[in-house]
Amino acid sequence: MTISMYAASVPVFKRNLANLAAILDKAAAHCAAHNITEPAMLQARLFPDMFAFTKQVQVAADFAKAGVGRLAGVEPPKFDDTEQSFADLKARVEKTIAYIETFTAAQIDGSEEKQVSYMMGKFPIDMKGQAYLLGFILPNFYFHYTTAYNLLRHNGVGIGKGDFIGRG
């Protein structure tokens, strides 16, 4: 049995982005309860050469919207990177969910062999749809989502595996 490109993308991103939104709420509550300023947590990094927490969330959302959009043959919208609070980040995640919910299975299924080509900064991306989703978009999405989770966990936010994976 095969899995559709739609099933491997939209529902996966929706679920994980919803989990991320809930984690952002817990992070905001943690900061309030422990008298930690949000900017301090939003700028947390695991190492100086890595993106800060805010950028990890932004990039995770960007990979989800870009992957789904390009598989459907649509250039994804550009979101300005202006978030300065957990509420702002949650709004970006919710905007990403709303965007990917606009796509149907008919728009994405069958994109396995579709050529996906674009520039990511100064790096050309040029691969077939299935390789693009499974070997590029999903790993990058999970890398940034996981790093955001780990930054919060490392900084004392009371979240666990169930928050990351979700309960349903």
Task: Assign 3-state DSSP to the chain and report helix, strand, coil percentages, each to 5.
Answer: 60, 5, 35
Burial environment of residue 119 by CB neighbours within 10 A (0 to 12, 13 to 18, 19 or more):
exposed
Question: What is the tens place of the pLDDT at every residue in 113-135?
Answer: 999 998 888 999 899 999 999 99
Q: Could you read off the pLDDT of 56-90 as tens digits, one per residue? A: 999 999 999 999 999 999 999 999 999 999 999 99
Query: Bridge partners of 126?
Result: 117
Tell me if residue 129 falls in helix, strand or coil. Answer: helix
Residue 84 CA to residue 41 CA, distance in Å, equals 11
Domains of the chain: 10-165 (1.20.120.450)
- Residue 25's pLDDT is 98
pLDDT at 168 over 70: no
Residue 7 has which token pair?
A: 């099933």
